Chains A and B, each alone.
Chain A
Amino acid sequence: MFQIIDKKDLAPSIKQFVVDAPLVAQKARPGQFIILRIKEGGERIPLTIADYDTQKGTITIVFQEVGKTTKELGTLKAGDYLADFVGPLGKAVEFSNHKKVLGIGGGLGVAPLYPKLKMLHENGAEVISIIGAKTADMLIMEEEIKAVSDKTYVCTDDGSKGRHGFVTVVLKELLEQGEKFDEIIIIGPPILMKIGTEIAKPYNIPIMVSLNPIMIDGTGMCGGCRVTVGGETKFVCVDGPAFDGSKVDFDELMKRLQTYTSEEKLALDKYHSERGACKCHQ
């Protein structure tokens, strides 16, 4: 059992947990993820590590309440326990002597972006960041990102904060202005990573994306998370989650994410009816 030490609401439906998991924290590195299970009979869900504290033995995770499991997760409070918390999984990211980096985070993607930028910042790289969300109140971790960035652009889809528009618009502008980077990191919904990659690709700058497919074991055992990268099948859980964005088949990834849409709806409806929740907010 793993105790939730702290809980914070970052935005409507986006929550942050700090979880007591000393062994995981001991080995965690930027880019890695964990798999958790709330309780017996629960599903195993992967979440990218948003921060870790080796001294305190804690792992920070950020999640958005979209399906049954994440909604149920959101009802847990500080002091509650998770049945399982497995990790650190996946390959840690490595940056070789980067001098200047652009980090782009959209929506929940800002959370996994943070530890990478933090590491780059600590290593002395110049960090430019672009973060965005649908609306101002959906924007997360702005202060944290700013603290590890030399310059941060904020965007919202509705213009309620910062630039009006998608993060990719700023990306395009910076590249067109002739800004040079050693690497561009793009993390967010697959469609954002796809469009961002398409914009950046002609500039011949390495593009890193972090993928979020459906997983079960997270140890390379089932192959459910397979994606096509550079024409080869890769398992995101052991070969990733970070990949060279220019080689990823995003269309396949997006299709595969739809596999259980009807089952996810069924599970959520059942959850709501059992909890007697009103249906007006669904």
Chain B
Amino acid sequence: MPSINRSKTKTPMPSQDAKLRSKNFNEVALGYTEEDAINEAQRCLNCKKPSCMEGCPVQVQIPRFIKHIAEKNFESAISVIKETNSLPAVCGRVCPQEEQCEQKCVLAKRGDPVGIGRLERFAADWERQQGVKIPDKANPIGKKVAVIGSGPAGLTCAGDLAKLGYDVTVFEAFHEPGGVLIYGIPEFRLPKEIVKQEVDFLKKLGVKVQTDMVMGKVLTVDDIFEKGYEAVFIGTGAGLPKFMKIPGENYLGVYSANEFLTRINLMKAYKFPETDTPVKVGKKVAVVGGGNVAMDSARSALRMGAEEVYIVYRRSESEMPARKEEFEHAKEEGIIFKFLTNPTRIIGDEKGWVKGLECIQMELGEPDASGRRRPVPIKGSEFTLDMDTVVIAIGTGPNPLLIEATEGLKLNKYGYIETDEDGRTSKEGVWAGGDIVTGSATVILAMGAGKKAAQSIHEYLQGK
């Protein structure tokens, strides 16, 4: 019987020193040692009715895997996780556990919850260090399923279907699979080698991955059916950057967060000129927005050599959608936060380069539809911040490329795909999930949608 750890606080996570890390792209959080992990696992009460699991979109058997860690049986721990989660090393790093499993943990009532995310990460990293075991391939069913998009939704759906014996092909538009895990989330939060290994694991399960396939252009959904696929899952994400529609947004040095992060992450601009794609980061950078993408952009700008990096957000700290951990990390690294500040105009020089960001001071008014207090501009409070780079991270919309090329797909009023609870769309044999259905959300919600859709596709194809 493992001993019990009655500490009210989580075993701390070792991390790179803030000053040091703000100059490199190496991972910030360093992960638990075996000792840390066992220590933390021993805090779990192993509840008979574990409420933590209600908070997990992919139903990881949380107390079971934690018990294995407490007993130093790491191999069993990871195999429990992998029963339901195809991307544990990713989830252990980027899931907002504080709003999900950990929020529901009984210990959270009187202290810190069990560090479920940290333990998941530990188990996944332990396995990677040992060398991932090649799983037994399922007996082939002899039915082909196509997955469009290789982000978290698509990879999860593909993995679950492959485990059931389907012949799954994932079509990815970029030259590398992983979607937002590759182009969006920075190396220092999610090393790309990990994404690569998770994709390799899926390949070992039999999943085929075809890159360079911009679906809707090179093949339509109907073409896919003609090629003998019996079901299609669309997980193309919400890849259409929103701009603020204020004057000056096309000045040189203004980026959408998507472009800024894609240059740095996917195209590895931080290694330029060793790699061929550059990114221009000035001395003073303003990132507009208050979500995780804004934090990622600001912290990336700092690592690219910016001297001062601002986050300009129109609401106050408490309304910020970013994870608390990301906000804390950004603050530690020296990011300057300008709350209740809304850009009104980008100012450029005669050659078209950004030189300033004109903003207006805001105050909080009555709550809006989202339940958050609505920011209202204070008349006459305009002021200008000198800037030479502006990154706009105010969200994304649905990318219409595939949608426009697919007949019979019902959309909602915002242009996202309409589905039922299981991800089934209005088009026969077509499912969808992730940001292309919900709008910008989290990795784990997309994975949950991919998982549900896989189950529903399985039921559909069994009856066929």
A interface residue numbers (CB < 8 A to B):
23-24, 26-27, 37, 41-44, 68-69, 83-89, 216-224, 226-228, 233, 238, 252, 255-256, 258-260, 263-264, 266-267, 270
**Contacts known (A43-B277, A220-B240, A259-B252); A37 close to B175, Cβ less than 8 A:** yes
The 3 closest A-B pairs by CB, nearest first: A222-B259, A263-B278, A255-B352
Which residue of B212, B239, B272, B274 contacts A86 across the interface (Cβ within 8 Å)?
A: B212
A223 pairs with B217, CB closer than 8 A: no
Query: In the assembled complex, how far is the CB of residue B388 from the closest CB belonging to chain A, in whole angstroms?
Result: 13
Which residue of A24, A216, A260, A267 contacts B259 across the interface (Cβ within 8 Å)?
A: A216
Complex-state Cα separation, A258 to B239, whole angstroms? 26
**Contacts known (A41-B268, A43-B276, A233-B250); A222 close to B262, Cβ less than 8 A:** yes
Query: In the assembled complex, how far is the CB of residue A155 from the closest CB belonging to chain B, in whole angstroms?
Result: 31
Complex-state Cα separation, A43 to B351, whole angstroms? 26
Complex-state Cα separation, A224 to B253, whole angstroms? 10
B241 within 8 Å of A (CB atoms) = yes
Q: Is chain A's binding surface mostly helix, strand, loop or mixed?
A: mixed
Complex-state Cα separation, A86 to B401, whole angstroms? 14
Which residue of A88, A256, A259, A270 contacts B217 across the interface (Cβ within 8 Å)?
A: A88
B258 pairs with A87, CB closer than 8 A: no
A221 pairs with B217, CB closer than 8 A: no
In the complex formed, the residue of B with least CB distance to A238 is B401
Residue from B183, B211, B212, B280 having most chain A Cβ neighbours under 10 A: B212
A68 pairs with B276, CB closer than 8 A: yes
Which residue of A41, A218, A219 contacts B274 across the interface (Cβ within 8 Å)?
A: A41
Count A-B pairs with CB separation below 8 Å. 117
Question: CB-CB < 8 A to B214: which residues of A?
Answer: 86-87, 89, 218-219
Complex-state Cα separation, A52 to B170, whole angstroms? 27
Question: CB-CB < 8 A to A227: which residues of B?
Answer: 250
Query: Which of the four size classes fits the interface of chain B?
Result: 35 or more
Question: CB-CB < 8 A to A216: which residues of B?
Answer: 259, 262-263, 267, 277
Question: CB-CB < 8 A to A267: which residues of B?
Answer: 272-273, 276, 278
Query: In the assembled complex, how far is the CB of residue A118 from the closest CB belonging to chain B, in whole angstroms?
Result: 21
Encoded as 1 (CB less than 8 Å from any A CB) or 0, chain B from 165 to 192 comes to: 0000000011100000001000000000
Given contacts A43-B277, A220-B401, A255-B252, 8 further A-B contacts (CB under 8 A): A86-B213, A89-B217, A217-B262, A219-B401, A221-B241, A223-B243, A224-B256, A238-B401
B212 pairs with A256, CB closer than 8 A: no
Q: Could you pull out 13 A-B pairs where Cβ atoms are within 8 angstroms?
A: A41-B275, A43-B276, A86-B175, A87-B217, A218-B214, A221-B183, A221-B240, A222-B241, A224-B256, A233-B250, A255-B352, A259-B253, A267-B272
B273 pairs with A266, CB closer than 8 A: yes
Complex-state Cα separation, A41 to B150, whole angstroms? 20
Complex-state Cα separation, A68 to B218, whole angstroms? 28
B400 within 8 Å of A (CB atoms) = yes
Query: In the assembled complex, how far is the CB of residue B354 from the closest CB belonging to chain A, in whole angstroms?
Result: 11
Question: CB-CB < 8 A to B400: which residues of A?
Answer: 220, 238
Residue from A222, A224, A226, A270 having most chain B Cβ neighbours under 10 A: A222
Question: CB-CB < 8 A to A44: which residues of B?
Answer: 175, 267, 277
B141 within 8 Å of A (CB atoms) = no
In the complex formed, the residue of A with least CB distance to B272 is A263
